[in-house]
Protein backbone atom coordinates (compact mmCIF):
# COMPACT_ATOMS: atom_id res chain seq x y z
CA UNK A 1 0.00 0.00 0.00
CA UNK A 2 2.85 2.37 0.72
CA UNK A 3 4.35 1.79 -2.73
CA UNK A 4 0.97 2.23 -4.34
CA UNK A 5 0.44 5.53 -2.55
CA UNK A 6 3.73 6.78 -3.87
CA UNK A 7 2.84 5.74 -7.38
CA UNK A 8 -0.46 7.54 -7.09
CA UNK A 9 1.49 10.71 -6.33
CA UNK A 10 3.41 10.87 -9.63
CA UNK A 11 7.01 11.94 -9.44
CA UNK A 12 8.06 13.64 -12.65
CA UNK A 13 5.20 11.85 -14.46
CA UNK A 14 7.01 8.47 -14.41
CA UNK A 15 5.22 5.89 -12.24
CA UNK A 16 8.20 3.52 -12.40
CA UNK A 17 10.33 6.15 -10.73
CA UNK A 18 7.98 5.97 -7.73
CA UNK A 19 8.94 2.35 -7.20
CA UNK A 20 12.60 3.21 -7.48
CA UNK A 21 12.28 6.01 -4.92
CA UNK A 22 10.45 3.69 -2.52
CA UNK A 23 13.01 0.90 -2.91
CA UNK A 24 15.91 3.29 -2.38
CA UNK A 25 14.28 4.77 0.73
CA UNK A 26 13.63 1.41 2.32
CA UNK A 27 17.15 0.24 1.54
CA UNK A 28 18.60 3.18 3.46
CA UNK A 29 16.20 2.48 6.36
CA UNK A 30 16.18 6.16 7.31
CA UNK A 31 13.59 8.58 6.03
CA UNK A 32 14.72 12.12 5.34
CA UNK A 33 12.89 15.33 4.51
CA UNK A 34 14.18 15.03 0.94
CA UNK A 35 12.44 11.64 0.69
CA UNK A 36 9.17 13.23 1.82
CA UNK A 37 9.57 16.06 -0.70
CA UNK A 38 10.24 13.68 -3.59
CA UNK A 39 7.32 11.46 -2.63
CA UNK A 40 5.00 14.47 -2.46
CA UNK A 41 6.31 16.02 -5.66
CA UNK A 42 7.43 19.27 -4.01
CA UNK A 43 10.70 20.93 -3.13
CA UNK A 44 12.45 20.24 0.18
CA UNK A 45 11.88 23.87 1.14
CA UNK A 46 8.12 23.51 0.62
CA UNK A 47 8.06 20.26 2.62
CA UNK A 48 9.96 21.89 5.45
CA UNK A 49 7.65 24.91 5.44
CA UNK A 50 4.58 22.67 5.54
CA UNK A 51 5.86 20.98 8.70
CA UNK A 52 6.97 24.18 10.42
CA UNK A 53 4.40 26.71 9.20
CA UNK A 54 1.50 24.81 7.59
CA UNK A 55 -0.55 27.95 6.96
CA UNK A 56 2.04 29.16 4.44
CA UNK A 57 1.60 26.13 2.15
CA UNK A 58 -1.41 25.50 -0.09
CA UNK A 59 -3.95 23.03 1.19
CA UNK A 60 -3.40 20.71 -1.78
CA UNK A 61 0.39 20.60 -1.39
CA UNK A 62 0.04 20.28 2.36
CA UNK A 63 -2.20 17.24 1.97
CA UNK A 64 0.33 15.53 -0.31
CA UNK A 65 3.19 16.29 2.08
CA UNK A 66 1.35 15.08 5.19
CA UNK A 67 0.29 11.94 3.33
CA UNK A 68 3.93 11.25 2.42
CA UNK A 69 5.00 11.85 6.02
CA UNK A 70 2.45 9.35 7.26
CA UNK A 71 3.12 6.69 4.64
CA UNK A 72 6.89 6.90 4.94
CA UNK A 73 6.86 7.16 8.73
CA UNK A 74 9.01 10.27 8.65
CA UNK A 75 10.17 11.57 12.05
CA UNK A 76 11.77 15.04 12.09
CA UNK A 77 15.37 15.10 13.28
CA UNK A 78 15.31 17.35 16.35
CA UNK A 79 19.06 17.89 16.25
CA UNK A 80 19.01 18.89 12.59
CA UNK A 81 16.05 21.17 13.22
CA UNK A 82 17.93 22.78 16.06
CA UNK A 83 20.91 23.46 13.83
CA UNK A 84 18.65 25.05 11.24
CA UNK A 85 16.56 27.14 13.62
CA UNK A 86 19.04 27.53 16.53
CA UNK A 87 16.63 25.69 18.88
CA UNK A 88 14.50 22.58 19.25
CA UNK A 89 10.80 22.48 20.15
CA UNK A 90 11.67 21.03 23.56
CA UNK A 91 11.00 22.87 26.81
CA UNK A 92 13.26 21.70 29.62
CA UNK A 93 11.48 21.33 32.96
CA UNK A 94 13.52 20.90 36.15
CA UNK A 95 11.75 19.78 39.33
CA UNK A 96 13.14 18.62 42.69
CA UNK A 97 10.85 15.60 42.95
CA UNK A 98 8.61 13.36 40.85
CA UNK A 99 7.05 11.65 43.87
CA UNK A 100 5.97 14.78 45.74
CA UNK A 101 2.23 15.25 45.08
CA UNK A 102 2.74 19.02 44.95
CA UNK A 103 4.49 18.71 41.59
CA UNK A 104 1.81 16.45 40.11
CA UNK A 105 -0.60 19.40 39.85
CA UNK A 106 2.22 21.60 38.56
CA UNK A 107 3.03 19.08 35.81
CA UNK A 108 -0.64 18.74 34.91
CA UNK A 109 -0.77 22.48 34.30
CA UNK A 110 2.35 22.32 32.13
CA UNK A 111 1.06 19.47 29.97
CA UNK A 112 -2.41 20.98 29.60
CA UNK A 113 -0.78 24.19 28.37
CA UNK A 114 1.24 22.51 25.60
CA UNK A 115 -1.79 20.76 24.09
CA UNK A 116 -2.26 21.82 20.46
CA UNK A 117 1.21 23.38 20.34
CA UNK A 118 4.42 22.15 18.74
CA UNK A 119 6.20 22.17 22.11
CA UNK A 120 7.29 19.02 23.93
CA UNK A 121 8.49 18.60 27.52
CA UNK A 122 11.70 17.04 28.77
CA UNK A 123 11.80 16.59 32.55
CA UNK A 124 14.86 16.60 34.77
CA UNK A 125 14.58 15.54 38.43
CA UNK A 126 17.37 17.06 40.52
CA UNK A 127 16.20 15.50 43.81
CA UNK A 128 16.64 18.65 45.88
CA UNK A 129 20.36 18.72 45.01
CA UNK A 130 21.59 22.18 43.88
CA UNK A 131 24.66 20.66 42.21
CA UNK A 132 22.55 18.16 40.29
CA UNK A 133 20.25 20.96 39.21
CA UNK A 134 23.27 22.90 37.94
CA UNK A 135 24.42 19.86 35.95
CA UNK A 136 20.96 19.36 34.43
CA UNK A 137 20.73 23.01 33.41
CA UNK A 138 24.05 22.68 31.59
CA UNK A 139 22.85 19.50 29.85
CA UNK A 140 19.54 21.02 28.80
CA UNK A 141 21.15 24.16 27.41
CA UNK A 142 23.45 22.04 25.22
CA UNK A 143 20.28 20.64 23.62
CA UNK A 144 19.14 24.10 22.49
CA UNK A 145 15.67 24.09 24.06
CA UNK A 146 12.88 26.51 23.22
CA UNK A 147 12.68 27.37 26.91
CA UNK A 148 13.56 26.30 30.44
CA UNK A 149 11.30 26.06 33.49
CA UNK A 150 12.93 25.72 36.90
CA UNK A 151 11.47 25.33 40.39
CA UNK A 152 12.42 28.04 42.84
CA UNK A 153 14.91 30.90 42.81
CA UNK A 154 17.71 29.38 44.88
CA UNK A 155 19.99 28.07 42.13
CA UNK A 156 23.77 28.00 42.60
CA UNK A 157 25.76 30.98 41.39
CA UNK A 158 26.99 29.03 38.35
CA UNK A 159 23.47 27.81 37.53
CA UNK A 160 22.04 31.30 37.86
CA UNK A 161 24.72 32.65 35.53
CA UNK A 162 23.89 30.00 32.93
CA UNK A 163 20.18 30.81 33.17
CA UNK A 164 20.80 34.54 32.79
CA UNK A 165 22.90 33.94 29.69
CA UNK A 166 20.60 31.28 28.20
CA UNK A 167 19.63 31.90 24.55
CA UNK A 168 16.02 30.96 25.34
CA UNK A 169 13.26 32.12 27.70
CA UNK A 170 13.71 30.97 31.30
CA UNK A 171 10.86 30.84 33.83
CA UNK A 172 11.41 30.43 37.56
CA UNK A 173 8.38 29.05 39.39
CA UNK A 174 6.73 28.26 42.74
CA UNK A 175 7.94 31.40 44.53
CA UNK A 176 8.81 35.04 43.88
CA UNK A 177 11.93 37.17 43.70
CA UNK A 178 12.71 40.82 43.06
CA UNK A 179 15.65 39.68 40.93
CA UNK A 180 14.50 36.84 38.65
CA UNK A 181 16.93 35.59 36.04
CA UNK A 182 14.32 36.25 33.32
CA UNK A 183 10.64 35.51 33.91
CA UNK A 184 8.94 34.33 37.08
CA UNK A 185 5.52 33.08 38.22
CA UNK A 186 4.65 32.01 41.73
CA UNK A 187 3.37 33.13 45.11
CA UNK A 188 4.98 34.43 48.27
CA UNK A 189 6.01 31.56 50.51
CA UNK A 190 6.88 34.06 53.24
CA UNK A 191 3.52 35.85 53.13
CA UNK A 192 1.77 32.47 53.16
CA UNK A 193 3.53 31.59 56.41
CA UNK A 194 2.50 34.93 57.90
CA UNK A 195 -1.10 34.20 56.87
CA UNK A 196 -1.04 30.91 58.80
CA UNK A 197 0.17 32.69 61.92
CA UNK A 198 -2.65 35.23 61.68
CA UNK A 199 -5.19 32.47 61.15
CA UNK A 200 -4.15 30.54 64.26
CA UNK A 201 -3.98 33.69 66.36
CA UNK A 202 -7.41 34.84 65.20
CA UNK A 203 -8.78 31.36 65.99
CA UNK A 204 -7.71 31.85 69.61
CA UNK A 205 -4.64 29.63 69.85
CA UNK A 206 -1.96 31.10 72.11
CA UNK A 207 0.77 28.45 72.23
CA UNK A 208 1.29 27.51 68.58
CA UNK A 209 4.14 25.33 67.36
CA UNK A 210 5.65 24.20 64.06
CA UNK A 211 6.56 20.95 62.31
CA UNK A 212 8.94 21.05 59.32
CA UNK A 213 10.81 18.44 57.28
CA UNK A 214 13.22 18.38 54.31
CA UNK A 215 13.71 22.12 54.86
CA UNK A 216 14.19 23.08 51.25
CA UNK A 217 14.36 26.84 50.57
CA UNK A 218 10.60 27.15 49.98
CA UNK A 219 9.78 25.42 53.27
CA UNK A 220 12.30 27.65 55.03
CA UNK A 221 10.68 30.77 53.55
CA UNK A 222 7.16 29.85 54.69
CA UNK A 223 8.44 28.90 58.14
CA UNK A 224 10.28 32.23 58.40
CA UNK A 225 7.05 34.04 57.54
CA UNK A 226 5.13 32.02 60.12
CA UNK A 227 7.59 32.78 62.90
CA UNK A 228 7.62 36.45 61.92
CA UNK A 229 3.83 36.54 62.24
CA UNK A 230 4.01 34.95 65.68
CA UNK A 231 6.80 37.27 66.74
CA UNK A 232 4.67 40.36 66.13
CA UNK A 233 2.36 39.28 68.96
CA UNK A 234 5.03 37.73 71.18
CA UNK A 235 4.10 34.10 70.52
CA UNK A 236 7.26 32.84 68.80
CA UNK A 237 8.73 30.16 71.07
CA UNK A 238 11.81 28.29 69.80
CA UNK A 239 10.94 25.27 71.97
CA UNK A 240 7.87 24.69 69.85
CA UNK A 241 9.66 24.78 66.50
CA UNK A 242 10.48 21.17 65.56
CA UNK A 243 12.20 20.51 62.23
CA UNK A 244 14.26 17.80 60.55
CA UNK A 245 16.28 17.62 57.32
CA UNK A 246 14.80 14.17 56.64
CA UNK A 247 12.20 13.73 53.88
CA UNK A 248 8.61 14.54 54.69
CA UNK A 249 6.00 11.80 55.22
CA UNK A 250 2.83 11.07 57.14
CA UNK A 251 4.81 8.98 59.60
CA UNK A 252 7.30 11.79 60.08
CA UNK A 253 4.45 14.14 60.98
CA UNK A 254 3.38 11.87 63.83
CA UNK A 255 6.94 11.50 65.07
CA UNK A 256 7.59 15.26 65.00
CA UNK A 257 4.38 15.99 66.90
CA UNK A 258 5.46 13.52 69.59
CA UNK A 259 8.80 15.35 69.78
CA UNK A 260 6.95 18.68 70.06
CA UNK A 261 4.83 17.48 72.98
CA UNK A 262 7.94 16.12 74.69
CA UNK A 263 9.55 19.57 74.47
CA UNK A 264 6.44 21.70 75.10
CA UNK A 265 3.44 19.67 76.36
CA UNK A 266 1.14 22.72 76.59
CA UNK A 267 1.29 23.46 72.84
CA UNK A 268 -2.28 24.12 71.63
CA UNK A 269 -1.81 24.32 67.83
CA UNK A 270 0.69 23.47 65.12
CA UNK A 271 1.53 24.65 61.64
CA UNK A 272 2.83 21.80 59.50
CA UNK A 273 4.98 22.86 56.55
CA UNK A 274 3.06 20.49 54.24
CA UNK A 275 -0.07 18.33 54.25
CA UNK A 276 1.79 15.03 54.69
CA UNK A 277 3.13 16.21 58.02
CA UNK A 278 -0.28 17.61 58.94
CA UNK A 279 -1.97 14.25 58.26
CA UNK A 280 0.54 12.49 60.50
CA UNK A 281 0.08 15.13 63.21
CA UNK A 282 -3.70 14.67 63.07
CA UNK A 283 -3.40 10.90 63.44
CA UNK A 284 -1.02 11.30 66.38
CA UNK A 285 -3.30 13.87 68.04
CA UNK A 286 -6.26 11.51 67.68
CA UNK A 287 -4.21 8.62 69.04
CA UNK A 288 -3.51 10.74 72.13
CA UNK A 289 -7.21 11.53 72.54
CA UNK A 290 -6.84 15.26 71.86
CA UNK A 291 -9.98 17.14 70.83
CA UNK A 292 -9.30 18.66 67.41
CA UNK A 293 -9.89 21.57 66.88
CA UNK A 294 -11.24 22.55 70.31
CA UNK A 295 -8.13 21.86 72.39
CA UNK A 296 -5.59 21.44 69.61
CA UNK A 297 -5.48 23.04 66.16
CA UNK A 298 -3.66 21.80 63.04
CA UNK A 299 -2.94 23.68 59.81
CA UNK A 300 -1.22 22.16 56.79
CA UNK A 301 0.17 23.60 53.60
CA UNK A 302 -0.56 22.99 49.88
CA UNK A 303 -4.16 21.79 50.33
CA UNK A 304 -3.70 18.45 48.61
CA UNK A 305 -6.80 16.59 47.44
CA UNK A 306 -6.69 14.26 50.45
CA UNK A 307 -6.95 17.17 52.88
CA UNK A 308 -10.65 17.82 52.38
CA UNK A 309 -11.45 14.11 52.89
CA UNK A 310 -9.72 13.66 56.23
CA UNK A 311 -11.76 13.43 59.44
CA UNK A 312 -12.06 16.17 60.40
CA UNK A 313 -11.21 17.90 57.10
CA UNK A 314 -7.78 19.51 57.26
CA UNK A 315 -7.30 23.27 57.38
CA UNK A 316 -4.57 24.06 54.85
CA UNK A 317 -3.15 26.75 52.59
CA UNK A 318 -4.29 26.25 49.00
CA UNK A 319 -1.40 27.00 46.63
CA UNK A 320 -1.88 27.68 42.87
CA UNK A 321 0.27 24.81 41.60
CA UNK A 322 -1.74 24.04 38.46
CA UNK A 323 -1.96 27.73 37.53
CA UNK A 324 1.80 28.12 37.96
CA UNK A 325 2.53 25.22 35.61
CA UNK A 326 0.14 26.48 32.97
CA UNK A 327 1.31 30.06 33.35
CA UNK A 328 4.97 29.06 32.95
CA UNK A 329 4.24 27.66 29.49
CA UNK A 330 2.20 30.76 28.61
CA UNK A 331 5.21 32.92 29.51
CA UNK A 332 7.49 30.87 27.27
CA UNK A 333 5.05 30.92 24.36
CA UNK A 334 4.66 34.69 24.69
CA UNK A 335 8.45 35.12 24.64
CA UNK A 336 8.81 32.90 21.56
CA UNK A 337 6.01 34.61 19.66
CA UNK A 338 5.88 38.37 20.30
CA UNK A 339 2.77 38.60 18.10
CA UNK A 340 0.81 36.51 20.64
CA UNK A 341 0.51 39.54 22.88
CA UNK A 342 2.50 41.02 25.72
CA UNK A 343 2.72 39.29 29.09
CA UNK A 344 4.37 40.66 32.23
CA UNK A 345 7.67 39.02 33.12
CA UNK A 346 6.63 38.73 36.76
CA UNK A 347 3.30 37.13 37.72
CA UNK A 348 2.26 36.95 41.37
CA UNK A 349 -0.54 34.54 42.23
CA UNK A 350 -2.45 34.14 45.48
CA UNK A 351 -2.28 31.43 48.13
CA UNK A 352 -5.55 31.15 50.06
CA UNK A 353 -6.38 29.80 53.50
CA UNK A 354 -8.81 26.87 53.29
CA UNK A 355 -10.20 26.88 56.84
CA UNK A 356 -11.84 23.54 57.66
CA UNK A 357 -12.32 21.26 60.62
CA UNK A 358 -8.88 21.11 62.24
CA UNK A 359 -8.84 24.74 63.44
CA UNK A 360 -11.48 26.64 65.38
CA UNK A 361 -14.14 28.43 63.38
CA UNK A 362 -12.74 31.62 61.89
CA UNK A 363 -14.86 33.31 59.23
CA UNK A 364 -12.15 35.72 58.10
CA UNK A 365 -10.96 34.26 54.78
CA UNK A 366 -7.36 35.17 54.17
CA UNK A 367 -5.22 35.56 51.07
CA UNK A 368 -1.42 35.67 51.13
CA UNK A 369 0.08 38.69 49.37
Domain boundaries, the chain: 2-76, 84-187+322-336, 189-318+352-368
Any idea which architecture 84-187+322-336 has in CATH? 3-Layer(aba) Sandwich (3.40)
At 246 the pLDDT is: 97
pLDDT at 59: 92
Bin 314: left if φ > 0, else alpha if -120 < ψ < 50, else beta: beta
CATH classification of 2-76, choosing from 1.10.3470, 1.20.120, 2.60.120, 1.10.260?
1.10.260
Looking at residue 85, its pLDDT comes to: 55
List Cβ neighbours of 173 (8 Å cut-off, separation of 6 or more): 106, 149, 150, 151, 152, 184, 185, 186, 324, 325, 328
CA distances (Å), 362 to each of 271, 293, 365, in order? 16, 12, 8
Q: How far is CA 263 from the centre of its chain?
A: 37
- What pLDDT score was predicted for residue 64? 94
Q: Is the preceding peptide bond at 312 cis, omega within 30 degrees of 0?
A: yes
pLDDT at 338: 73
Using N-to-C axis directions, what is the helix angle for 15-28 and 33-40, rounded to 10°? 160
pLDDT reported for residue 7: 33
Q: Which fold has domain 189-318+352-368?
A: Rossmann fold (3.40.50)
The answer to whether 126 touches 109, Cβ cutoff 8 Å, is no
Please, what sign has the CA dihedral across residues 297, 298, 303, 307? negative
> Same fold for the domain at 2-76 and the one at 84-187+322-336?
no
**pLDDT tens for the chain, residues 1 to 369:** 333 333 333 333 443 344 344 444 444 456 888 899 999 999 988 998 888 778 888 999 999 999 998 888 787 765 555 555 567 899 999 999 999 999 999 999 999 999 989 999 999 999 999 999 999 999 999 999 999 999 999 999 999 999 999 999 999 999 999 999 999 999 999 999 999 999 999 999 999 999 999 999 999 999 999 999 999 999 999 999 999 999 999 999 999 999 999 999 999 999 999 999 999 999 999 999 999 999 999 999 999 999 999 999 999 999 999 999 999 999 999 999 877 667 899 999 999 999 999 999 865 557 776
13 contacts 36 by C-beta, under 8 angstroms: no
Rounded Cα distance, 334 and 39, in Å: 36
- Preceding omega of 246 cis (within 30 degrees of 0): no
Amino acid sequence: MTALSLVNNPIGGDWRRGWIVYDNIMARNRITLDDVARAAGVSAITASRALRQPAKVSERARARIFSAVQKLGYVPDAAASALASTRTSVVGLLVPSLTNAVFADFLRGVYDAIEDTSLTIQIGNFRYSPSKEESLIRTFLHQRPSGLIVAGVDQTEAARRMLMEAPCPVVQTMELSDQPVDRIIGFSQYASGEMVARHLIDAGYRRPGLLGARMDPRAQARIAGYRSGLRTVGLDDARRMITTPQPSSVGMGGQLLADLFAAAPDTDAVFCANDDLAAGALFEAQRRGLRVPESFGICGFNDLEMSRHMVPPLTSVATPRYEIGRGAIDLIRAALDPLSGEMPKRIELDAVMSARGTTRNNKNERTAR
